[in-house]
Structure 1
Amino acid sequence: MLVALLIPLLAGCGLIWRWASLPFSLTCRLEDGSEKTIRVDPRLQQVQELDSGTGEVRATITTNDPPDELGGGIIDDSKVIVSQEEIHWNQRMYRPQFVSESHTINLQTLHYRSELTIGSDYGAEFDTQSMTGTCRRGEPIS
């Protein structure tokens, strides 16, 4: 009898997980008046930055974590974490100066926060810019 009760319950959990893990889009209005549109695929842990006007993919970000033995300075790295609470992605590039972008969207409040850090060619000086905004969630994409 217990098994008969658990089967429909577990089947329902599978449907919820599949719906929650479907790709979806977010459009964020930033404090400077601009928009950022992204497509998120939780199963692939991937974020695509889209052109807000045409919807074309401008960049695809996935986790690229080079081995420690390669060291920093030439190899770009990126990390994407999609959870039920937030989406976070960052990229670090070394050309010729250090550039780091970090983006976080809280999925409960739909608050967007980003930080851009650029290192100077002359040493340990960094210029950092922050941006906030609010997002609205689109429908799941199949």
Structure 2
Amino acid sequence: MTTRLSCHATPLFYFNCSSPRVDVNPKGYITQLQCEDDKGGPSYFVSSPSDSGNTTILDGLRASCKRIINIPVSRSALRIEDRHQSLETIKKALDEGFKLNFNSVCSGCVLSRGACGFNESSKAFVCYCGDGPHEHTCR
């Protein structure tokens, strides 16, 4: 569970998109990433997903991209007010790290010396332990 604080922004990364390339966005806040392995399709970074001018473009990205990731980062590091983020700014914001708050299930896992995770196929929480994955905590 992530707590969104006013000092943090939650930008979105869209990877491996099948839709045509997003052209220059007059409202800004969308940057095409130049990934080393773009064989599956273009990838994008959206610094302000709540900007209403981007609704149509974001709907298209949500429908056509294979992976969407949001990461809470420092607003000051990202310079959220800048409409066009450079790759250098994005890297700097990620390098500064981000803050996560555990929910009770994850806390139990960590207390049992496990690492919290998510099983993509079952769409459920998993606790990774020394003897393998478990449903909630290590035994």
| TM-score bucket (shorter structure) | under 0.3
Structure ID, larger Rg: 1
Which TM-score applies when normalising by structure 2? 0.23
Name the structure with the higher helix share: 2
Q: Which has the higher contact order (CA 8 A, sep 6+)?
A: 2
Name the structure with the higher strand share: 1
Which TM-score applies when normalising by structure 1? 0.23
